[in-house]
Amino acid sequence: MTESARLSISNLDKAFAAPVLIGVNLTIARGEVHAIVGENGAGKSTLVNILAGNLQKDDGEISLDGNIYEPQGPRDSYAAGIACAAQELSSIETLSVAENISLRALPKKKFVIDIIDEGALNAKALKLMQRVGLQNIDPTSSTEALSLADRQLLEIAKAISFDCQLLILDEPTAALTTPQADHLHSIVADLAAAGTSIIYISHRLDDVLAVADNVSVLRDGELVVTTSTKQTSVPDLVGEMTGRNQTTATERRDRVSDAGVVLDVTDLTTGDLPHAINLTLKSGEIVGLAGLAGAGRSELLSALFGLVPLTGGTVRRMNNGAEHAVLNAGQAVRNGIAYLGEDRQSMGLFPGQSLLTNMMVPGSVDTKTLQYIDKKRERADGARFVEKLSIRCNNLAQDIRQLSGGNQQKALIARWLHRDSDILLLDEPTRGVDVGTKNAIYDLLIRLRQKGKTIVMASSEIDELTTVCDRILVLSDRKLVRSFERSDFSEQDILAAAFSEFTASVDNQSTSTSRVASPQR
Amino acid sequence: MNIWHSIRRHAEDNFILASLILLILFFGFSSDNFFSVITLTTILNQLPALTVVTVGMTLVLIVAGIDLSVGSVMGFCAAVVGVAAVAWGLPLWMAFLMGLGTGLICGAVNGLLVAYLSLPSFIVTLGMLEMARGLAYMTTGSQTTYIGSQIQSLALPLPGIGVSAALIFAIVLVIAAQLVLTKTVLGRYLVAIGTNEQAARMSGIDPRPYRLMVLAVSGALAGIAGIFNAAYLGSADPNAGIGLELSAIAAAVIGGTSLMGGRGSIIGAFAGVLIIAVLQNGLAQIGVSEPTKRLITGAVIIIAVLIDRWRAKHASAS
């Protein structure tokens, strides 16, 4: 008699605006360590969220130990024996380490009413903390003081605080040093030997090959291959992850050869970017920033815009022979630099205000603070941008919240075009935008490039970068590792470069003790 | 039919104004004395101090802040005016200048702490509320200082015009502030900061000087309110302005200003001031007791916000 698999997923579908998971089939046996890899946005987190009960599937079937599993919330997944150490750290900073570990089931004792049994709480915490390598921390201390790496270990202690059947680890080693990661991997092996099944999600492909029994590759929401880790290699996995069809490139003119330098960055370092970064931007080019999540793309863009203080180096803006240092965002804007943050809602939009106000906020170049706004001209400008960028709206007075994500994004780009900015720093400009609008944004960027504007765009979608960019800079582990010219664009090479700082350190294990200098916030 | 439709549309657009007119008509017909010169002057004479403070409060609310100190700062400034004019024998204009300067300093201290040390405005201005009241008592020795009839000319109706200089100042201020808020880049920046501070920062607008500015302006306006209050009473009362901050917040909210920031109207807030004043005097006229007056005023504030919320939803749905 074959026993039923621990987890069995068949034909799982999930869509938000666009499909995110398409007909996923996955089976995990008892005591199996199963890795899931894929590019950012491939659907890994969505899959985890469905299993953890944070999201509901659209279609398909999930069963646990032969029983249908349909969680309505995180409570159900917990009851079913699924533990999840999330990528986003979820510790509550004002509670003690021990309280965080046992938050779901605080030990109680009777004292007139039920009160928390502090002794049992801390004893239990201490045992788990010893297991994950947090033995140096006082369980009664506040979580606030923990480093990022310690919080990640705390997350794992939390996940194994009860007898789970299936443990999901989502990027568990992102902030860990090599010895800490090795220790974690030995815990994983112990748990698996005891019969716990483990889903292991990681960008560190070497780890995946070392830790997992089998590995599945997700690409654009489809599970393209499942194989034994003994029969695959890092290059094979990278190939499977990127093996998508190239989208047709938009028509583009040759670049002006004598284009002048518009921004010169020398030895830039910030609190988040410890390795010196040098780059020059010319007029009429689109430069892509590639890298895995947390590689430092957003940090670099915000440093160029003067949003974070530099700890070293300079950002100089060259404009018709004049040269200005960029020290803060106000100066950046006055010197024709524009910025779109990766989170449109919190960093860009003025919700509740009209489309027109949203497009016109920084004002055109010549505005003084106590100057009257020429509303007639403003409406004319607004109407022009609505037409030029084909922003779909009822009228200019419409609340920006009522526009679709793509149209909101266009309005934010219009904000800077109105300001006639020469350098556009765009962080994930097509995030949460449907395919049609995506292409419209690509076209717009290329049109702006032909007009001599400089665009730097960070994106986690490599094919998007290879479609529109003239140059792609790759960041890995907050280091600028490689630059690709358009002629040698290869998704595979770019992805390999993005992984390089994460994989290289495994080879140097004996010499380097820390592969990630975890940011101590 | 057509006329009715047009009236309805205007009433919807100017909902606050329509409510104000309805209130005046209601009290006019239910009381024998409401449409009298005495009632009207009583109402108008109460207005300048509250109006001026409400303008400042509305600006602070628009950048998603709050200024709880305005009432105490007003009392402190009135005390400074009284002591400067009486005990130190300074000319009235110098006493006024000192009152204004005192308000400006209190507001600037609030502003510096809030903008540059990132303290919550609620806490900072709550602290200033206590401190300024203490200073008001210390300045006057907890006694009401009689200044003299000379100062009262500011609050008395000007011959030929029928309203006081203080009221004229308040109305000019309302119009000027409304223009700044709706027609200038500065006003747009304030709205942007109040709507989404991070987005404003990422648009190259440094919110700090603007936060400092609105709180300093609010303090200075509380200083002017202190002068008006001293003129109205002919004396400096260290207890002046207790609870004034709540009336100012109520007036701003009735006028459509959001406590979450990013939305507000100075004209609307002025209408809110008028509604509160008419309600208070009208209810007194028809013989409503003080406790009932407070009950009704409180209910009106909540109902005004409910109606405003409903209208906003209605407008975005259509």
pLDDT band at residue B9 under the 50/70/90 scheme:
low
A346 contacts B199? CB cut-off 8 A = yes
Nearest-Å Rg of the Cα atoms of chain A is 25
Q: Does A347 touch chain B (CB under 8 A)?
A: yes
Q: What is the CA radius of gyration of chain B?
A: 20
**A142 pLDDT band (50/70/90 cuts)?**
confident
Query: Residue B58 in contact with residue B264, Cβ under 8 Å?
Result: yes
Query: Quick one: tokens of A468?
Result: 């529109």
Nearest to B254 by CA among B9, B15, B4: B15
User: Is B64 in contact with B39 (CB distance < 8 Å)?
Assistant: no
CA distance B188 to chain A (A): 7
Question: φ, ψ for residue A179 (rounded to 5)?
Answer: -60, -40
Candidates B13, B178, B185, partner chain A, best to mutate (most A CBs within 10 A): B185
Using alpha carbons only, give the angle B105, B106, B110 rounded to the nearest 5 degrees: 110
Read off φ and ψ for residue B89, nearest 5 degrees.
Answer: 65, 25
All domains of chain A in start order, with CATH: 7-91+146-242 (3.40.50.300), 261-336+422-507 (3.40.50.300), 351-419 (no CATH)
Count Cβ atoms within 10 A of the Cβ of residue A187 and give its class: 0-12 exposed, 13-18 middle, 19 or more buried.
buried
User: In sequence order, what DSSP letters do the residues of B79-126 get, joined into one string?
Assistant: HHHHHHHHTS---HHHHHHHHHHHHHHHHHHHHHHHHHS---HHHHHH
pLDDT of residue A22: 92
Task: Single out the residue of A432, A492, A444 nearest to residue A468, CA to CA.
Answer: A444
How many CB atoms lie under 10 A from the CB of residue A411?
Answer: 24
Q: Which residue of B has its CA nearest to A345?
A: B199
Residue A324's pLDDT is 84
Of A329, A363, A402, the CB nearest to B185: A363
What are the pLDDT digits (tens) for B64-121? 999 999 999 999 999 999 999 998 989 999 999 999 999 999 999 999 999 999 999 9
Q: From chain B, pick out residues whose CB is under 8 angstroms from the CB of A372.
A: 183-184
pLDDT at position B8? 64
- Cβ contact A352–B191 (<8 Å): no
A261-270/A67-68 β-pairing: unpaired
pLDDT of res. A177: 76
A361 and B192 in contact by Cβ < 8 A? Answer: yes
Does residue B33 register a pLDDT over 50? yes
Query: In chain A, which residues have their Cβ closer than 8 Å to the Cβ of B189?
Result: 361, 369
> Who among A351, A372, A415 is closest to B184 (CB)?
A372
Weakest-pLDDT range from A287-296, B116-125, B262-271:
A287-296
The rounded mean pLDDT for chain A is 84
Q: Which amino acid is at B7?
A: I
Chain A residues whose beta carbon lies within 8 Å of the beta carbon of residue B196: 346, 349-351
What is residue A280's predicted lDDT score, i.e. its pLDDT?
A: 92
Give the number of other CB atoms < 10 A from CB of residue A186.
11
Q: What residues in B contact A307, CB-CB < 8 Å?
A: 201-202
Selected residue with higher pLDDT from B105 and B46: B105
**Burial classification of residue B8, based on how many CB atoms lie within 10 Å of its CB (0-12 exposed, 13-18 middle, 19 or more buried):** exposed
Q: Least CA distance to B205: which residue of chain A?
A: A330
Of the candidates B186, B262, B263, the beta carbon closest to that of A369 is on B186
Higher-pLDDT residue of A154 and A203 is A154
Greatest distance between any 2 Cα atoms in chain A: 83
Picking from A406, A315, A33, A372, the residue whose alpha carbon sits closest to that of residue A198 is A33
Classify residue A160 by burial, with Cβ atoms within 10 Å: 0-12, 13-18, 19+: buried
Give residue A508's pLDDT. 44
Which residues of B are less than 8 Å from A427 in CB distance? none
Q: What is the ipTM of this complex?
A: 0.76
Q: pLDDT band for A40, please (50, 70, 90 cuts).
A: low
Report the C-alpha gap between B213 and B208 in whole angstroms. Answer: 8
Answer whether A14's CB lies under 8 Å from A23's CB: no
Q: Which of B186, B195, B205 sits opposite A362 (nearest CB)?
A: B205
Cα separation, B187 vs A370, in Å, equals: 8
* Chain B CB within 8 Å of residue A125 CB: no
Contact yes or no for A33/A188 (Cβ under 8 A): yes
Q: What would be the CATH architecture of the domain defined by B42-309?
A: Orthogonal Bundle (1.10)
DSSP string, A25-72: EEEE-TT-EEEEE--TTSSHHHHHHHHTTSS--SEEEEEETTEE---S
**B196:A350 CB<8 A:** yes
Partner B contacted by A363 (CB < 8 A): yes
Q: Is B102 left (phi over 0), alpha (psi -120 to 50) or beta?
A: alpha
Mean model confidence pLDDT for chain B: 89
Q: Are strands A471-476 and A286-290 parallel, antiparallel or unpaired?
A: parallel
Residue A175: is its pLDDT beyond 80?
Answer: no
User: B5-19, B31-45, B69-83 — which is least confidently predicted?
Assistant: B5-19
Residue of chain A whose Cα is closest to the Cα of B193: A350
Cα(B106)–Cα(B220) distance, integer angstroms:
8
Task: Give the model confidence (pLDDT) of A82-122 as tens digits.
Answer: 998 876 667 788 888 998 888 878 888 888 788 888 888 89
Q: Judged by CB atoms within 8 Å, which residues 407-446 of A form the interface with B?
A: 415
pLDDT of residue B222: 97
The answer to whether A168 touches A83, Cβ cutoff 8 Å, is yes
Question: Which of A185-199, A430-444, B85-99, B268-282 shows the lowest mean pLDDT across its residues?
Answer: A430-444
Smallest CA–CA distance, residue A517 to chain B, in Å, is: 28
Mean pLDDT, residues B256-275 taken together: 91
State the DSSP string of B27-71: HHHH-SSTTSHHHHHHHHHHHHHHHHHHHHHHHHHHTT---TTHH
pLDDT for A519 equals: 41
Min Cα separation A292/chain B (Å): 24
The set of residues, in sequence order, having a beta carbon less than 8 Å from that of A204 and lying 6+ positions away, is A173, A499, A502, A503, A506
Inspect the interface and report whether the beta carbons of A351 and B196 lie closer than 8 Å: yes
Q: Does A336 touch chain B (CB under 8 A)?
A: no
Q: Does A179 touch chain B (CB under 8 A)?
A: no
Cross-chain Cβ contact B188/A357 below 8 Å:
yes
- Give the model's pLDDT for residue A455: 94
Taking CB atoms within 8 Å and a gap of at least 24, the contacts of B152-160 are B152/B231, B152/B232, B152/B234, B153/B231, B154/B227, B154/B228, B154/B231, B155/B45, B155/B48, B155/B228, B155/B231, B155/B232, B157/B41
Residue B256 has pLDDT above 80, yes or no: yes
- On whether any CB of chain A is under 8 Å from the CB of B189, the answer is yes
Residue A462, pLDDT > 90, answer no
Residue in chain A nearest B209 by alpha carbon: A369
Q: Which of A427-441, A468-482, B195-209 has the lowest mean pLDDT?
A: A427-441
- Chain A residues near residue B204 by CB distance under 8 angstroms: 329-330, 332-334, 362
Give the least confident one: A300-309, B144-153, B236-245.
B144-153
Residue A415 CA to residue A359 CA, distance in Å, equals 4
Give the model's pLDDT for residue A256: 60
| pLDDT of the residue at A64 | 92
Tokens 């101090």 correspond to B49
